[in-house]
Amino acid sequence: MKIDSSSEDSLLRKIAASVRLSSKEAVSKTFLPLGIGDDAAVFRPLPGHETVLTCDWFLESTHFLRDKHPPDSVGWKCLARALSDVAAMGGMARCFLLSLALPATLTGRWLDGFLGGLRRASREFHCILAGGDTTRRDQILINVTVVGEVRKRLVLLRSGARPGDLLYVSGQLGEAEWGLRLLKRGKARANSANPSIRKHLYPEPRLALGQWLAAKRVASAMMDLSDGLSSDLPRLCAASRVGARLEPSRIPCVQIPARFRSAPSVPLQLALHGGDDYELLFTVSPDRARLVPRSFRGIPLTQIGIMTTEKQVVLVDESSRERPLPGRGWDPFRSRR
Amino acid sequence: MKIDSSSEDSLLRKIAASVRLSSKEAVSKTFLPLGIGDDAAVFRPLPGHETVLTCDWFLESTHFLRDKHPPDSVGWKCLARALSDVAAMGGMARCFLLSLALPATLTGRWLDGFLGGLRRASREFHCILAGGDTTRRDQILINVTVVGEVRKRLVLLRSGARPGDLLYVSGQLGEAEWGLRLLKRGKARANSANPSIRKHLYPEPRLALGQWLAAKRVASAMMDLSDGLSSDLPRLCAASRVGARLEPSRIPCVQIPARFRSAPSVPLQLALHGGDDYELLFTVSPDRARLVPRSFRGIPLTQIGIMTTEKQVVLVDESSRERPLPGRGWDPFRSRR
């Protein structure tokens, strides 16, 4: 037989060639001596650092729609959302593994679009393809594992918040959820000129911000917002064994044109319960608060509440009335999106 | 709201509690300071070592059948097969990430069985659960990422074979494929007393053998047999830019009772083309061959051929006639199993 004729191998070669290193990234050879093509990849850890490991499902019908999400966005987003977990630890991106299951009919143009988006994200965030697994399947299934690094003793956990710490968020909340609604409403595919649709299709993991907050020891606890503030904040509270008082009037909400606003509270509802924003939620002790700038490289940083001893999350309105925050964010085992 | 009420979180807690460390593995805290429960896991690499990274799909209908494979086997095998890739590099197992998508109806008894098998494999092979991702899905989807370590400059690649090197295999080939046929034939679920069915359901990654071959610098190239000898050997040849002459009479084949043998060649066909054996295929330079024992901890090691300059794989029969080896192993993009 001719050696190496199998089609799974040729698919792997196509992926490897498409997401190969640019000359700028050739330096990565120092930390990735062996990439695609063997039984496993070999990663060379940086002395004095710990390795950050995370994996994420990205599944057709569950996390994206084949007829609404351009393949380029699927490629970008599957990596970007996994990188957001590295950002949430204060880590630097290093490399990733791609597990891809595809219908045989999508190994042409769809795959090219997908690999284009993946390559752009890989280069933008300096995270190189180290390996993966491919198989055939009637629906598109993606799983991405990202490997990052963080200097020893600088990793930022969910569990470090103390009562009295101030609660901050980066960016504007609810934007990706609003983008998704516009996308579902539209007959055609994405108009990525719209900033909310763009944020939904091409989220930007806050890697530089996360690294800065960790390196300067500004934050006491941190996580990323993937399922929505009302789902994620209770997780940070549980890990830190504290509660939180949120001030809705301070929450930076997505801007919605007046003609779309069915009720004045819509932007706040999107900000509280909308998923996929991939912003950072972090706490800062009062004596470090002066170190938090109003914005970091153009991304606003906003104080939205304070941590408490009460082990619950409450919303406090402008007349100081309190009400509990209902959790209505994304949970695959509770409801279909 | 009550903090931490979401059902995805409770599923994660169930998984973490079930596959938690035994007291013996508590030492792992030294290399896994942070496991499940944050945005990512934190792994502390051993000085002087490189990190081995691999991921593997394990999908209902594609890789296993819900009505034929007991959940306990699905849990064991999803980890064991990924560990086999670490064994193939000469690596030691460290930790793994589990991505699991499940129907909500399987989060009870099925999940308990699955976690039981996973826990047994995790303890048997000293590979601890570091994190993962869960979601709901109508079919069972599994992806496992394994992290291993290997001492610097000892990693064993597919690309190190030279013409003249002897080709070896561990164990008996075709056994798992035969076990699968028995399993499909049976009306009831697995009778794991049958050694072939057992090998199909509960494969044993050759970690100790792989580590020994690497540490003693016995092998020049190595890979694991997952898709079958006729698919995998050409990959090793391609990586090393060599060919191979296989002697069928030397290949250690699965033992099949006479009543099942439709043709005398069936055991050889199973050994050449059957998948899922997870044995090691390795090459040894002639001057190191005396170091290869007949068996390693009860697993036979057999020389089955020799590497050549010819860049093709041929079968050589007892009268020295040559014929090319057809590739008919498992390739998801070529044929359905």
Can you give the pLDDT at residue B260? 77
The answer for A218, left when phi > 0, alpha when psi is -120 to 50, beta otherwise, is alpha
Tokens describing residue B130: 């570091």
Find the mean pLDDT for residues B137-141: 96
Q: Give residue A8's pLDDT.
A: 75
Give the residue carrying structure tokens 């069985």. B113
Residue A187 pLDDT = 57
pLDDT of residue B241: 95
Domains of chain B, by residue range, sit at: 8-151, 158-324
- The pLDDT value recorded for residue A5 is 37
Alpha-helix residue ranges (DSSP H) falling in B66-168: 71-87, 109-124
d(CA A239, nearest CA chain B) in Å: 8
Distance, in Å, from the CA atom of A207 to the CA atom of A223, rounded to the nearest integer, reads: 12
User: With bands split at pLDDT 50, 70 and 90, how would you rate the model's confidence at B9?
Assistant: confident
Q: Which residue of B has its CA nearest to A100?
A: B57
Q: Does the pLDDT of residue A3 top 50, yes or no? A: no
Arithmetic mean of pLDDT, B268-283:
96
| In B244-314, alpha helices (H) | 266-273
Look up residue A171 and give its amino acid.
G
Q: What is the pLDDT of residue B31?
A: 84
What's the pLDDT tens digit per position in B35-59?
Answer: 888 899 999 999 999 999 999 999 9
Closest approach of B121 to chain A, Cα-based (Å): 20
Element (H, E) at A95: strand A92-102
ipTM of the assembly? 0.92
For position B53, what pLDDT does the model report?
A: 97
Helices (H) and strands (E) in chain A, counts: 8, 13
Measured in degrees and rounded to the nearest 5, phi and psi for residue A9 equal -60, -40
CB-nearest to A238 from B4, B7, B99 is B4
Q: Which of B91, B97, B327 sits opposite A6 (nearest CB)?
A: B327
Nearest CB among A41, A104, A333 relative to B7 is that of A333
Mean pLDDT of B236-242: 95
Residue B29: the pLDDT is 66
Which amino acid is located at A321 in the chain?
R
Which chain A residues are within 8 Å of B99, Cβ to Cβ? 55-57, 143
| C-beta of residue A96 within 8 angstroms of C-beta of residue A79 | yes
Alpha-carbon gap, residue B306 to B52, rounded angstroms = 28
Task: Give mean pLDDT, residues A105-113.
Answer: 94
Supply the pLDDT for residue B27: 47
**Domain A12-17+28-151 belongs to what architecture?**
2-Layer Sandwich (3.30)
**Please, which residues have CB within 8 angstroms of residue B131's CB and are 6 or more apart in sequence?**
A53, A54, A55, B35, B36, B40, B41, B97, B98
Q: How high is the pLDDT of residue B22?
A: 54
Which pLDDT belongs to residue B190?
A: 59
B1, B88, B159 member nearest A313 (Cβ): B1
Inter-chain residue contact A38 with B324, CB threshold 8 Å: no
Beta bridge partners of B302: B169
Q: Greater confidence, A337 or B113?
A: B113
Per-residue model confidence (pLDDT) at position A34: 84
Report residue A221 as tokens. Answer: 């606890």
Band of residue A337 on the pLDDT scale cut at 50, 70, 90: very low
Indicate the range of A119-123, A304-308, B30-34 predicted with least confidence: B30-34
Residue A63's Cα: distance from chain center in Å? 13
Q: Mean pLDDT for chain A?
A: 90
Local confidence band at B4 (pLDDT 50, 70, 90 cut-offs): very low
Tell me if A62 and B136 make a contact (CB, 8 A cut-off): yes
Amino acid at A290: R
Closest-CA residue of chain A to B104: A333
Lowest mean pLDDT, pick from A17-21, A23-27, A325-329? A23-27
pLDDT exceeds cutoff 90 at A117: yes
C-alpha to C-alpha distance for B213 and B216, rounded to whole angstroms:
6
Report the C-alpha gap between A125 and A203 in whole angstroms: 12
What b-and-e string marks burial along A6-36, b requiring 16 or more CB atoms within 10 Å of the CB?
bbbbebbeebeebbebeeeeeebeebbebbb
A116 with A149: CB under 8 angstroms? no
Residues of B in contact with A130 (CB under 8 A): 53
* The predicted structure's pLDDT at residue A1: 34
At B189, the pLDDT band (50, 70, 90 cuts) reads: low
The pLDDT tens digits of the residues spanning A20-59 come to 755 455 545 678 888 888 899 999 999 999 999 999 999 9
| Cβ contacts of A147 on chain B, cutoff 8 Å | 51, 53
* Contact residues for A259 (Cβ-Cβ < 8 A; gap 6+): none
Share of chain A above pLDDT 90, in %: 76
Q: Does domain B8-151 have CATH number 3.30.1330.10?
A: yes
**Residue B116 has what pLDDT?**
96
CA-CA distance, B32 to A51, in Å (whole number)? Answer: 10
pLDDT digits over A175-188, tens only?
999 999 999 887 55
Q: Which CATH number fits domain A158-324: 3.20.20.70, 3.40.50.150, 3.40.50.2000, 3.90.650.10?
A: 3.90.650.10
Q: At residue B78, does pLDDT exceed 60?
A: yes
Residue A11 has a pLDDT of: 83
For A81-90, how does the pLDDT look when each residue is reduced to its tens digit (9 = 90+)? Answer: 999 999 999 9
Quick check: A312 and B54 CB within 8 A?
no
Please state whether beta strands A92-102 and A41-43 pair in parallel, antiparallel, or not at all (unpaired).
unpaired
> Identity (one letter) of the amino acid at A184?
K
Say whether B204 sits in a helix, a strand or coil. coil
With a pLDDT cut of 70, the percent of chain B lying above it is: 91
pLDDT tens readout for residues A124-163? 999 999 999 999 999 999 999 999 999 999 999 999 999 9
CA distance A229 to A240: 16
Euclidean distance between CA atoms B185 and B194, whole angstroms = 14
Question: Residue B258 to residues A109, A298, B194, B223, B264: CA-CA distances in angstroms?
Answer: 51, 75, 16, 32, 9
User: How does residue A6 score in pLDDT terms, banded at 50, 70 and 90?
Assistant: low
- Over residues B50-79, mean pLDDT: 96
Contacts of A137 (CB under 8 A, 6+ apart): A101, A102, A103, B59, B62
Q: Does position A304 have pLDDT exceeding 60, yes or no?
A: yes
Q: Residue B264 pLDDT more than 90?
A: no
Cβ pairs bridging A and B (under 8 Å): 257
Q: Is B175 helix (H, G, I), strand (E, B) or coil?
A: helix
* Cβ within 8 Å, pair B158-A40: no
Q: Do A235 and B4 touch (CB under 8 A)?
A: yes
The structure's pTM equals 0.93
pLDDT at B82 over 80: yes
To the nearest whole Å, the CA of B261 is away from the closest chain A CA by 27
Around Cβ B184, how many Cβ atoms within 10 Å? Answer: 9
Cβ distance of B332 and A134 shorter than 8 Å: yes
Q: How far is B129 from chain A, CA to nearest CA, in Å?
A: 12
pLDDT tens digit string along B287-310?
A: 999 999 999 999 999 999 999 999
Region A70-91 average pLDDT: 98
Residues B54-81 have a mean pLDDT of 96
Beta bridge partners of A322: A316
Q: Which 8-state DSSP code applies to residue B180?
A: H
Contact B38 A141 (CB under 8 A): no
**Dihedrals φ, ψ of A77, to 5°?**
-70, -35
